[in-house]
Amino acid sequence: MAKKLSINLNGKYQTIKTINENYIQNEIYFTEYLTPEILSKIPLVMPNLTSYELLEDRLVLRTPIVSGDSVYEHSDISPSTRIDVINKYLKTINKFSGLPIFLQINLMRLENFYLAKGELIHRGVLIVEDCKFNYPFTNKHLLRAISFFALKIIHGDPALINFETYFKNLDDDKKSIEEIIEDIKNIYIRDLFKEKKFTTKIIKSKPRLKLKNLNFTFLFSIILFVFFLVSSVFLIIKANNNNISEIPIVKIEEKMENSSYILIDRSFSSKENSLITYKEWNLYENDKLIRTETGDIFVLLPLEDKKYRVTLRVKDSDGAWSNELTRNYELEDVKSKDQLNNFNLSGSRFNNDIFKEGAVSIDMNASSKNFYIKEEYLSTNVTVAFYLKSTEGQTVNVIVSGYPETNEKTKMAKSIQLRKDEWQKVTLNIEGPNIYKIKVQTEYAEGNVYLDKLSLSSSNE
């Protein structure tokens, strides 16, 4: 039976995995800053969350993949809609207030929000890889992020000049998000119900100049129109002059996971107060376009000996496109060279420097000395075989557990005497009704232990 490959984005603090075309799994590992107490609060405030698990060493979040447009793509929205978007943004990020401030700022990042069918939604993914945990974040950083978001939504709308003035001066270190929400209400009500002034007596007098029939309102409108016309021409000329130097800078970070290339967008805008709002990845196979994506990450899994070309271009919040960056790959079929690619592994951490066969091995030390194997064809009698290698000569206890659908799990343990830096084969048998998952554990005292050349066989006998 064919097996489905799992593509992981592994990092120091977390692993992000696409489960299928509809869902993402986000695993955040415990650290000095990301403690179980802190991570247990995240599911309570995370928008767009499907399910979660708090395991021994990490928090596992599962969220649907969000499809929509950046709010900056919609320049034709009305002033009331702009205020509605800001209100929904404030109400969403207000729920994050129970988390440490570095997680709040990470969750409220602009690229986490999309506009889908007129609704502002959060993609529900927490990225902790780029957190600068030692940076002394304060409430001013949080207010600065809120101000930047709101000013981008307002986008110079003349009907929202009072809101624009408010967010430009949002620098009170003691102001909370709840207070900002109340301030927005007060500004809206004040603008909606403007005080009208009346006079009880009209004093008539003869004008000294012959301007009796002159319409001052019309004259002021003409002057204002000419002013805006001249300003617009000046901005257009300036934009044309700076168009070349102020286009976004497109950049790709490349990672290799097993036989797959993971391309991560690291593009940025060259203009102040401008963000990347749209990304366009194209994959060409022998110069034929076969795939287009718009996410932050693009995965290239070569299946045949063909020429591949990946291109990326991005657009910023001002509508400027970057140049197109191209990466070329001429790859052979390396999918079968590493047997670890054939299994659906959970909790495993890979090492691509020390391995027996293929391109990677499993670093048992980095994976908390255990990982899980889930396979569709497992049955009542399962044989697990693999090779172990230790950086120190020592005895390693190997425990393989089988998880049946109904009864308690069954275990098989074995002590293996490993020589330093030599691979040794290990084989264990597990029996139980309808086994659907295998757990492999190692217990040892020194150094690191690596596992490779994993194989499974199963039968009903």
Tens of pLDDT, residue by residue over 382-395, are 889 999 999 999 99
The H or E element spanning position 126 is none
> Which of 345, 344, 348, 373 lies closest to 363, judged by CA?
348
Residue listed under structure tokens 């934009």: 239
* Mean pLDDT to the nearest integer, 66-87: 76
Q: Give the pLDDT confidence of 423-436 residue by residue, as tens digits.
A: 999 999 888 877 88
Section 318-344 average pLDDT: 75
For 438, list phi and psi in degrees, rounded to 5. Answer: -120, 135
- What pLDDT does 64 receive? 87
| Position with higher pLDDT, 333 vs 175 | 175
Distance CA 431, CA 461 (A): 10
Segments making up each domain of the chain, as ranges? 8-192, 252-334, 338-459
Asked if the model's pLDDT at residue 132 lies above 60, the reply is no
| 3-state helix/strand/coil string of 373-426 | EECCCCCCEEEEEEEEEECCCEEEEEEEEEEECCCCCEEEEEEEEECECCCEEE
The 10s digit of each residue's pLDDT in 175-200 is 888 888 888 888 877 665 543 333 33
**Torsion region of 156: left, alpha or beta (phi above 0 gives left; psi -120 to 50 gives alpha):** left
Q: Which of the listed ranges 235-239, 302-306, 425-429 does the model predict with the highest average pLDDT? A: 425-429
Instruction: Name the more confident of 159 and 150.
Output: 150
Identify the residue whose tokens are 């097996």.
Answer: 3
Contact status, residue 242 vs residue 320, Cβ threshold 8 Å: no
* C-alpha distances out from residue 9 to 6, 12, 90, 186, 280, Å: 10, 10, 31, 45, 20
User: CA dihedral in degrees (378, 373, 382, 368; nearest 10)?
Assistant: -160
Q: What value does the mean pLDDT take over residues 268-283? A: 85
Average pLDDT over residues 17-37: 85
Which residue in the block uniquely carries the two structure tokens 């986490």?
A: 112
By three-state DSSP, how is residue 459 classified? strand
Rounded CA gap, 190 and 183, in Å? 11
On the question of pLDDT at 453 being above 80, the answer is yes
Give the CA dihedral 360, 363, 364, 366, nearest 10 degrees. -140
Contact 299, 308 (CB under 8 A): no
The whole-model pTM stands at 0.42
Residue 449 has pLDDT above 90, yes or no: yes
pLDDT at 424: 94
312: left (phi over 0), alpha (psi -120 to 50) or beta: beta
Name beta bridge partners: 261: 256, 300
3-state secondary structure of 220: helix
In the prediction, which pLDDT does 236 show? 62
Contact 39, 54 (CB under 8 A): yes
Query: Sheet harboring 325-331: ordered strands across?
Result: 288-293, 276-285, 306-316, 325-331
- CATH architecture for the domain at 8-192: Orthogonal Bundle (1.10)
Helices vs. strands in the chain: H and E counts, helices first: 8, 24
Q: Which pLDDT value is given to residue 334?
A: 44
Q: Is the pLDDT of residue 440 over 50?
A: yes
Helix (H) or strand (E) holding 314: strand 306-316
At residue 259, the pLDDT reads 61
Helices 161-168 and 177-192 cross at an angle (nearest 10°) of: 150
Of the chain, the percentage scoring pLDDT greater than 90 comes to 14
Does pLDDT of 234 surpass 50?
yes
- In this structure, of 89-103, 259-273, 427-441, the range with the lowest mean pLDDT score is 259-273
Per-residue pLDDT, 8: 44
Give CA–CA dist 146/165, Å, rounded.
14
Band (pLDDT 50/70/90 cuts) for residue 444 is very high
Q: Over 80: is that where the pLDDT of 260 sits?
A: no
CATH placement of domain 338-459:
2.60.120.200
Number of neighbouring beta carbons within 10 Å of residue 453: 18
Confidence of residue 202 (pLDDT cuts 50, 70, 90): very low
- What is residue 141's predicted lDDT score, i.e. its pLDDT? 84
DSSP conformational letter for 422: -
| Amino acid letter for position 75 | S
What does the pLDDT read at residue 280?
Answer: 94
Task: Give the pLDDT confidence score for residue 244 in this predicted structure.
Answer: 43
Superfamily of domain 252-334: Immunoglobulins (2.60.40.10)
Report the chain's mean pLDDT, rounded to a whole number: 79
pLDDT > 60? residue 5: no
Q: Name, in order, each residue with C-beta under 8 angstroms of 35's C-beta and a sequence gap of 6 or more.
A: none
Q: What is the dihedral of CA 187, 193, 195, 196, to 10 degrees?
A: 150
Question: What pLDDT shows up at residue 434?
Answer: 79
**pLDDT value for 49:** 86
Lowest mean pLDDT segment, chosen from 49-63, 93-107, 183-197, 267-281: 183-197
Give the pLDDT confidence score for residue 427 in this predicted structure.
93
Average pLDDT over residues 431-448: 88
Kindly indicate the confidence band of residue 407, based on its pLDDT and cuts at 50, 70 and 90. low
Instruction: Give the whole-number percent of the chain exceeding pLDDT 70.
Output: 77
Quick one: DSSP state of residue 66? P
Q: Give the residue-averaged pLDDT of 315-322.
A: 89
For residue 441, name the pLDDT band (cuts at 50, 70, 90).
very high
pLDDT-derived band at 310 (thresholds 50, 70, 90) equals very high
